Structure 1
Amino acid sequence: MPEAEVLYSDVKFNRDKGNNDGSASSAADTTYSAVRILEKQPELPAHQNIRTIARLQKMTDEPDAEMKNLTGGSCKRCPDGWEPHGGKCYYFSINEATWTRSRAACRRTGGDLVKIESTEEQEFLEQKVRGEMTEEEDKFWIGLTDSETEGTWLWTDGSPLDSRLTFWFKGEPDNFKGIDTMGEDCARMGKRGGATDLKCWFDASCEDPHKSICEKPEDPNSLRI
């Protein structure tokens, strides 16, 4: 049981001071200073101590948790297996399928085949697919097609390809019909060993099986477990 010190100071007592001749005496003051009394303080039950410690710990942890939320430290903006970059989430599917089936798989996840909107985004994607490629034809579908009108390339959202922001490999697109008489109406990307100029888009038959890149916006409300 802990002890608490209680201090009483300048305590005065009155007593009669007798005369030598036996006559009445006057009162004399006696002062005792710094009188200290130790008192026992009752201990809290063990379970109350535990609860108190827990409350103190919670008060300490809460500011840290709040700071993580503010800085994004506890936020998971992309699902498992998706790569965050520039406010978007990317999924590099290694399943080989036609362009149409690849797009359908992306849409089932809430996204679509990737739409490339900047040089910086193209650079990020080129580096990622380069690391996934094991042979020259090991390319990835992107969300670009001219299947509606030959030569008019559109993204999956219906927007036209910006001619100032294209990354076609030299000689592409060529609409080669040697394998598919319908020509090459879908775009894929990737160059084994890398493309220093970032130009690694190729048109191909939409029926060819290839890997693919899905894309969707980040979700700031999704928390990391």
Structure 2
Amino acid sequence: MQNQREGQRSPQREWHWWFSVSCWQLLSSSFDKIRANKELENLKHHKMKCESNLTETLSKIKSCSTVQPTCPGPKVINDPCYKCEEGWEQHGGKCYYFSIRKSSWEQSRDECRAKGGDLVKIDSREEQTFLERRLKDVMNEAEDKFWIGLTDSAVEGRWVWADGSSLNESLKFWNRNEPDNWNGTNGTHPGGENCARMGEKGGAKDLKCWFDAFCSKPHRSICEKAGVKGQIKKVCD
């Protein structure tokens, strides 16, 4: 009798099982649909935002293209643009020539004049900075210094530039204990050291790299002349 009852219940249990499975599948399908709808809404929102950004960008591009034709045509204006001859270096509107040949101070000055310039006159701390840093690159060793246009040959202790102007007391870059007007070993140079040279291979503290030396000593030199002022074209300045 018990086996007969269990046989009668089996179809009912099977039906309940299939019903449960069907309900679960239906619920899962509903959840998937809800999730898909939410993702679709997010995509639509993202699409609308992209379209809005694109419209704004195109509007800016159109605005630029309509403004550009109203700009004035190319015009030539005087601009602080300077040119130097080949072999010369431009800085601050001036041209500098760092010689390879070693000569006395006077010979070096003649060579600079022949090139249309003169031995350099240092007018500012900025110019001294440029030259001091540049010489660190071109000097071969400690004594490979360069003549500058400074001398006290006319009056001992009164340092003047090659153009005749006096040395500015606020723009002196003498190395420590310089100028010392050394007369040489056993006084072999009674006239002393009357010409200025500059340069420190390893760099100078506070730019102080001027030294007095015998004017007859062979050294390289720095020539200087004004740069040729040019013009530059500017569009829609």
TM-score (norm 2): 0.62
Number of equivalenced pairs: 158
Residue number in structure 2 paired with 1:19 = none
Aligned 8 A contact 1:93 1:213 in 2: yes
Look up the match of 1:200.
209
Higher helix fraction (1 or 2): 2
With over 3 angstroms needed to count, the CA separation of the structure-2 counterparts of 1:222 and 1:208, relative to structure 1, is farther
- Residues 128-143 of structure 1 aligned to structure 2 (within 5 Å): 128-143=134-149
Name segments (4+ residues, structure 1) moved above 6 Å: none
Q: Distance in 2 between matches of 1:105 and 1:186?
A: 16
**Structure 1 residues 76 and 154 mapped into 2: Cα distance closer, same or farther (>3 Å)?**
closer
How far apart, in 1, do the equivalents of 2:194 and 2:82 lie?
Answer: 36
Higher relative contact order (CA 8 A, sep 6+): 2
Q: 1:196 Cα shift?
A: 3.2
For structure 2, the residue ranges without an aligned partner over 5 or more in a row are: 1-71, 233-237
Aligned to 2:159: 153
User: Could you report, residue by residue, the CA deviation over 1:122-161 in whole angstroms, capped at 9, with x for unpaired residues?
Assistant: 0000011111111111000000000000000000110000
Letter in 2 for 1:198: L
- The separation in 2 between residues aligned to 1:76 and 1:87, in whole angstroms, is 6
- Structure 2 residue 103 is the aligned partner of structure 1 residue 94: no
Superposed CA RMSD: 2.3
TM-score by length of 1: 0.65
Distance in 1 (alpha carbons) for counterparts of 2:190 and 2:137: 32
- Going by fraction, where is strand more abundant, 1 or 2? 1
Query: Given residue 156 of structure 1, which amino acid in structure 2 is its aligned partner?
Result: A
Alpha-carbon distance in structure 2 between the residues aligned to 1:94 and 1:222: 32
Q: CA deviation at 1:76?
A: 6.2
Say if 2:131 is the partner of 1:125.
Answer: yes
